Structure 1
Amino acid sequence: MRRHLPLNALRAFEASARLLSFTRAGLELRVTQTAISHQVKQLEDMLGASLFRRLPRGLVLTDEGLALLPVLTDALDRIGAAIERIEAKETREVVTVGCVATFATGWLLQRVERFKTAHPYIDLRLLTNNNRVDIAGDGLDLALRFGDGSWHGTEAIHLLSAPLSPVCRPDVADRLLKPADLAQEFLLRSYRAEEWPLWFAVAGAPCPKIQGPIFDSSVAMAEAAARGVGVGLVPVAMFENELTSGRLVRPFAPEVPAGSYWLTWLKSKDLTPGMRAFRDWMIETLRANAREVEEVRAATPAQAPKAKAKPRTKAKAKVVKKRRR
């Protein structure tokens, strides 16, 4: 059963317990020492327990007082923080975002803590999917999707291009000398059947008959490739960690554009402050990343191509031998 305890009495006890003085508690709360003492006594009567031992030179908390103080301090701090947020128009808001799993694991989850730090009063609810999403039916505020940006009834902001390129385990890559060698491997594929043929066309090699497993997630496909099941065709920008660690390698450089990642929402829904904050954070973070990449490229000196050594004539070779002697 919930107890209805007077807030003034609770505040009087908290201040007295923290300062161990009714007089100093009165000065802090701007009431008399007598009023503080009366409110604490009222609280003790309601609880049926003494919270202080009154001594000639001050106060000492009883076991009951020691048990109550930290709980009450935390509650009052939370109440104060909530009031401050309301006064500052920073009420907490839940923003539900649907996200294709590849983008979630390859980009968003590495940076979501930054959003939380920048926007502590927004609770981000992240629901992953395999890119088949119904914004209204799934109760989403925003959706991060892969495609061409054309979804009926939605606004769409372009975030990041994601060209596809083959990836595989290092020992598999060792036996791949040219794109045509892929015909001897299991080629892992998505439900978009045109991707491998497009890549082989860019690579300038005939596309073999593809009979490998079909995946609805590039994350699962990349994991299968890392385990040696076959060669996957994935958006390589989403697998920087695996490529940097060497768990996956790119046997060939050609890439094929297959789509981009987009931030979308229903045209019929007005953006809330939390939705706008997430949208603006996404855009600024991606711009900052692009600037960092350009700065790294600009700071890295271009290496001139190595000149091929000219064959030496027999006469010159003899001279060299004589000099070495």
Structure 2
Amino acid sequence: MMDRPNLPLNGLRAFEVAARQGSFTRAAIELRVTQAAVSQQIQRLEDILGHPLFTRASTGLILTDIGAALHPVLTRSLDDMAEALSRCQTGRHREVLNLGVVTTFATGWLIPRLRAFEAAHPQVALRVFTHNNRIDIAKEGLHMAIRFGDPDAWPWHEADPLVAAPMTPLCAPGLAARLRRPQDLAGERLLRSYRAEEWEGWFARVDASCPVLDGPVLDSSVALADLAAAGEGVALLPAAMFTRQLRAGILARPFAAEVDAGRYWLTWPRGRTQSDAMARLRSWLARTIADDPAG
């Protein structure tokens, strides 16, 4: 075991930020130092360990096996230190909980209810980080993540079911007025997510042929909803996450038919010890969703 006086704290901190950001440049911005300083600190850490922590690729930094093992340990340790310092400053205990949330669920369900969670659990400092459903909990320094889909896609994670999210076409009210039957969609621009099979599933649900899909592909349901509201086409979306836009007349729902494409899940790495904050969030989500799933 390395002696505490010899721990390379600056290098460890630089490495944790660079691994989370995926870039020396972004790490330097967060740490308010130069890129060269970040690079030097990490090089010194690699020299001490005798192993490289990153490989460089055109897409950014990729953790080596040693780096991947070290990063989550550092993230938890730094969070624990930050929490302890905050407790000293405020005189009260607040446990930090870093939660990744797919953007659609964040804007459509969670954010309007954050005040309620904070009021019910003032001892939890909940930090929300949005994502596009592609996320690595350990690499990104998270404790838990809310995702959309099927838990079979995350075999090394535990998962609590949250909100079902059947999908249906949504569009601008003016466009909806000219849609009388599902076949009318063949003459419209159909906006798509990266899950290409969703439109085919909806058309099968209404016993209609799916037209050729050549509209733009986006990785965010929120972006799809914005395009649809602007009259740029019809998007297949989870209506339960866009109730405010539907009530306000920003979006319209021309058909009642829905297709089950998955649901939202609260996930965390299998084997991770569940903290008090994690248990409180799980309980609050289950209770609140049971009382008010869509809002």
Amino acid at match of 2:159: A
Q: CA deviation at 1:80?
A: 10
- The higher radius of gyration belongs to 1
Which residue does 1:265 correspond to in 2?
A: 268
State the alpha-carbon separation in 2 of the partners of residues 135 and 80 from structure 1.
Answer: 29
Query: Is 2:286 aligned against 1:283?
Result: yes
The alignment's TM-score, normalised by the length of structure 2, stands at 0.68
Q: CA deviation at 1:205?
A: 1.1
1:154: which partner in 2?
A: 157
> How far apart are the structure 2 equivalents of 1:128 and 1:197?
28
Q: Within 2, Cα distance between the matches of 1:162 and 1:114? A: 22
- How big is the shift at 1:149? 1.7
1:185 equivalent among 188, 191, 203: 188
Q: Deviations over 1:111-159 (max 9, x none)?
A: 0110111111211111000000001111110100001122121100001
1:246 and 2:249 correspond:
yes
Alignment of 1:164-313 (within 5 A): 164-289=167-292
TM-score normalized by structure 1? Answer: 0.62
Give ranges in structure 2 of 5+ residues lacking alignment: 1-86
Q: What is the SS of the residue equivalent to 1:209?
A: coil
Q: Number of residue pairs matched?
A: 208
List per-residue Cα deviations over 1:266-323 (Å, max 9, x = no partner): 1121011111111111111111115x99xxxxxxxxxxxxxxxxxxxxxxxxxxxxxx
Q: Deviations over 1:155-183 (max 9, x none)?
A: 00001110000001111011111100101
Distance 1:148 1:79 in 2: 42
Separation in structure 2 between the aligned mates of residue 147 and residue 178 of structure 1, nearest angstrom: 28
In structure 1, C-alpha distance between the alignment counterparts of 2:208 and 2:180, rounded to whole Å: 13
Question: Counterpart amino acid of 1:213?
Answer: P
Give the secondary structure class of the aligned counterpart of 2:212.
coil
The offset of 1:79, in angstroms, is: 7.7
**What corresponds to 1:133 in structure 2?**
135
**4+ aligned runs moved over 4 Å, structure 1:** 78-81
Residues 92 and 172 (structure 1), Cα distance of their counterparts in 2 relative to 1, 3 Å cut: same
2:50 is aligned to none
Q: Deviations over 1:7-41 (max 9, x none)?
A: xxxxxxxxxxxxxxxxxxxxxxxxxxxxxxxxxxx
Residue aligned with 1:232, SS: strand
Aligned-residue identity in percent: 51
Q: Using CA pairs below 8 Å that are at least 6 residues apart, which structure has the higher relative contact order?
A: 2
Q: For the residues of structure 1 that align with 2:90 and 2:104, how far apart are their CA atoms?
A: 37
Return the alpha-carbon distance in structure 2 between the equivalents of residues 211 and 123 of structure 1.
44
* Structure 1 SS opposite 2:162: strand
Q: What SS does the aligned partner of 2:292 have? A: helix
Conserved? CA contact 1:154–1:264, under 8 Å? yes
| 1:149–1:158 contact (8 Å) kept in structure 2 | no
The Cα offsets for residues 183-205 of structure 1, whole Å up to 9 and x where unpaired, read as 10000000011000110011121
- What is the letter of the counterpart of residue 127 of structure 1? F
What is the SS of the residue equivalent to 1:152?
coil
Is contact 1:166–1:251 with CA below 8 Å preserved after alignment? yes
Q: CA deviation at 1:81?
A: 6.6
Counterpart CA distance in 1 for 2:111 and 2:187 is 36
Q: Distance in 2 between matches of 1:160 and 1:288?
A: 12
CA RMSD of aligned residues (A): 1.7
> How far 1:248 sits from its partner (Å)?
0.5
Structure 2 counterpart of 1:183, one-letter code: A
